[in-house]
Amino acid sequence: MRVLVFGAGAVGGVLGARLHIAHHEVLLVAREEAVVAIRTDGLRLEGPLAGTYRIAAIDALPDGAEVEAVLVTVKAPDLGPAAATLARRLTAPGPILLLQNGLGIEEAFRDGWVGTGRPYPAPDILRAISTVPATRLGPGHVREAGRGEIRIGAPAAGAGGAAAAERWRRLLASTGLTVAVVPDLPREIWRKLIVNAAINPVTADHGILNGALARDPWRGQAEALLREALAVARAEGFDFPDDEIEADLWRIVRATAANRSSMGQDLARGRPTEIEFISGALLRIGARHGIAMPATERAAARIRSRRPVGPAAPGAPPQPS
Ligand code: PAF
């Protein structure tokens, strides 16, 4: 199948390589420096499928590019512009899968798309959650740092999109990953959000690998963030048991111990972070429920102070200039 991977950074690079290895025709859209590196040296992948792979890469999508499926792996702050480009350039994109962390993802993508005046192909746009641990080592050079899986949200009954979900499941499963279409993706999104809210700001702020969270003082900070995120999730009706969510956190920390979190990678490169889609979103919802979140407020303030933050998540307050 001809698959467009829009955003060939860490996650897009790993999944693009896996799709290529599984004999799909992959087109990567990446930043110019990555495109130059991939065209010159191939996409270099470390991890279980280590190798150098010759994959087509471009930095600007041409008009009318013919693809059968689109995997959107840009970071959350880049979703609006990504959606606008896809809406303008592709006449028949096929099913589109959004693979970002946090809340407000579908809304940010939709806003970018409808801003172009093009009709929004709602049933063909699906969301998934990935725990595939991917690190960008350099332009066109990525590492898959452990085992992860992908969960695709089953469309609501009568909304269409079931065929698109099944197509994505088969496509991604063909790469050897564990992939499932799950009926309750919002619960999975919150489960991952709580873990990201605990891992990402602490690792990004202190410039540490995920595995370092097992030691104090970082362990205590991550646990405080986890408790606050869990309180917000419960207020929203996602009643995860304490021990289950703590087990999730430490399982993911162990599985991705050698990985730098996506927020850590973004800060290190001076790129906008997903703080508004993770901690910022939790603070806004927590405030509606009257939940005190001092640890999350501190963590978000520290990341926000390390500009650039990037476009706001839908519903986020204006950023200070
Ligand atoms: O955002 C990330 O970095 C990832 O979601 C995770 C699972 C925390 C691994 O680094």
Q: Which domain holds residue 138?
A: 2-183
Note whether residue 309 is domain-resident.
Answer: no
pTM reported for the whole predicted model: 0.90
E strand or H helix at 248 = helix 242-255
In this structure, the answer to whether residues 129 and 276 fall within a common structural domain is no
- Confirm if 8 and 16 have CB atoms less than 8 A apart: yes
In this structure, the answer to whether residues 128 and 244 fall within a common structural domain is no
Q: Looking at 11-20, 25-34, 207-216, 254-263, which range is the least confident one? A: 254-263
Can you give the pLDDT at residue 183? 93
Q: Is 140 in the pocket of ligand 1 (CB under 6 A)?
A: no
- Beta strands of the chain (E only): which ranges? 2-6, 25-29, 43-46, 51-53, 56-58, 69-72, 96-98, 125-130, 134-138, 141-144, 149-153, 178-182
Rounded to whole angstroms, the Cα distance separating 203 from 113 reads 33
Note whether residue 315 is domain-resident.
Answer: no
CA distances from 285 to 9, 239, 281 (A): 30, 16, 6
Note whether residue 312 is domain-resident.
Answer: no
Q: Is 259 in the pocket of ligand 1 (CB under 6 A)?
A: yes
Of 277, 282, 314, nearest in space to 107 by CA = 314
Which ligand 1 atom is nearest residue 196's CA? 8
In this structure, the answer to whether residues 81 and 14 fall within a common structural domain is yes
In this structure, the answer to whether residues 175 and 213 fall within a common structural domain is no
Can you give the pLDDT at residue 315? 53
The better pLDDT of the pair 252, 179 is held by 179
Which residue's alpha carbon is at the smallest distance from atom 1 of ligand 1? 262
**Can you tell me the mean pLDDT for 222-233?**
98
For the chain, how many structural domains are there in total? 2
